Amino acid sequence: MSCHINFFPAVKVKLIKLTTGSCGFTFVGIPGQMKKVSSKYCLLAMVFIALFVLNACGQNKTLQPEKNQKMKDTIIKTDDEWRKELSPQQYYVLRQKGTEAPFSGKLLFNKEKGVYKCAACGNELFTDAMKFNSDCGWPSFDNAISGGRIITHVDTSHGMIRTEIICARCGSHLGHLFKDGPTASGLRYCVNSLSLEFVSSKDIAALGEDNKVATNDTITLGGGCFWCVEAIYEMLNGVVKVESGFSGGTTRNPSYEQVCTGITGHAEVVQIVYDTTKTSLDEILKVFFTVHDPTTLNKQGADVGTQYRSVIFYRDDKQYQIAKSIIDSLNSEKVFKSPVLTQLSKFEAFYKAENYHQDYYNQNKDQPYCQLVIRPKIEKFEKVFKDRLKKNTKE
């Protein structure tokens, strides 16, 4: 006879057939409110189902929790207030850290363009560009909108060690974070549909500019002379802004002349703001490793010194994981004759260089350095990434 499990009213999923004896069991309403079973086989089935629900998003390795940050507009409500505002199913998942039945969520197969928000407070968490099909039974994302919108902590419930993800604004349970994603980030945000509210791009447009989600992210890169690197990223589709400056040293607000001495510890860098709906950190870094030599220590061509080192200043664990994955792949596949020496350093501060360094190539195209050093790099970029160029390099 067939056994069924009903996690929530109107959500009944056929799970298993038992060929011996008669059996019938049901999870009524909220999981945990369970009628007594009439057969030992049903008990075994229940154990099997519980293990499936808990381990469908299992992993061998657990991510170390990121450095959590509280949002400025934190929402604090009493338990009674949450009960009044949320449905019983939402309350169970969001406030009691429950799990919805696999393959039952209404957003699991959603492919519409838009933004995924916390169902409890409206905090913008993911975009459609971050969603992918993981076949695990719950909506999955390979990244999250930047800005400390999600916090993590180690979850040791049910005899496992996992990384729980929580809304940074209201503290509601979202799901778990795993290090088994198929994309360059290597991450999989496994989220309950009941924890999410989806707003389509059409609806966002109808609300006006003030309600549109910020989809920009920032990365800081050092690949030798910042004039060269800046000129290239200004041409990449999806890049919103590029600024030349200095990072990684001990001197506050250094001048170009001070950095050139090598004693400040700073590297010449470009700070890149990019639209995550048009490009990705993966693409940003592929360009980075194409247009400079990451195998030379403190040197790019004729430019020698620690200020010309190859370095990626990452802002969070996601950026670190993506960068490390690409570097590991370059080394394992022996893309370069020598090992990649690019440093991975935690971002601390960016100091914008003097105005005459900004947009240097476009302002000084006839200068010998621009013609002999920068132009060949641009031509290489244009050849390799010809389908990713902005229609107007000034857009």
190 catalytic, yes or no?
A: yes
Q: With bands split at pLDDT 50, 70 and 90, how would you rate the model's confidence at 72? A: low
Instruction: Give residue 185's pLDDT.
Output: 84
CA–CA gap between residue 196 and residue 380 (Å, rounded): 43
Q: Where are the domains of the chain?
A: 2-55, 79-207, 216-388
Helix (H) or strand (E) holding 83: helix 79-85
CA–CA gap between residue 29 and residue 52 (Å, rounded): 19
Rounded percentage of the chain residues whose pLDDT exceeds 70: 78
Give the model confidence (pLDDT) of 5-51 as tens digits: 334 433 333 333 333 332 333 333 334 443 334 445 545 555 554 55
Domain 79-207 CATH (choose: 3.30.70.270, 2.170.150.20, 2.60.40.1220, 3.40.1010.10): 2.170.150.20
Domain 216-388 CATH (choose: 1.20.1250.20, 3.30.1060.10, 3.40.50.740, 3.40.1350.10): 3.30.1060.10
Q: With bands split at pLDDT 50, 70 and 90, how would you rate the model's confidence at 70? A: low
Give the model confidence (pLDDT) of 266-320 as tens digits: 999 999 999 888 888 999 999 999 999 999 999 998 899 999 999 999 998 889 9
Max avg pLDDT among 15-29, 65-79, 325-339 = 325-339
CB distance 122 to 129 below 8 Å: no
Give the model confidence (pLDDT) of 184-210 as tens digits: 888 999 999 999 999 888 776 665 555
CA–CA gap between residue 262 and residue 44 (Å, rounded): 68
Distance (Å) of CA 358 to CA 234, 290, 354: 11, 22, 7
Chain position carrying tokens 């990684």: 248
225 catalytic, yes or no?
A: yes
Instruction: Give residue 379's pLDDT.
Output: 93
Out of 42, 225, 228, 370, pick the active-site residue.
225
Exposure string for 350-383, b = 16+ CB within 10 A, e = fewer: bbebeeebbbbbeeeeeeeebeebbeebbeebee
Give the model confidence (pLDDT) of 358-381 as tens digits: 999 999 999 999 999 999 999 999
Q: Which of 176, 161, 166, 181 is nearest to 68 (CA)?
A: 166
CB atoms inside a 10 Å sphere around CB 94: 27
Out of 170, 190, 228, 370, pick the active-site residue.
190
Chain position carrying tokens 């003097």: 354
CB distance 17 to 41 below 8 Å: no
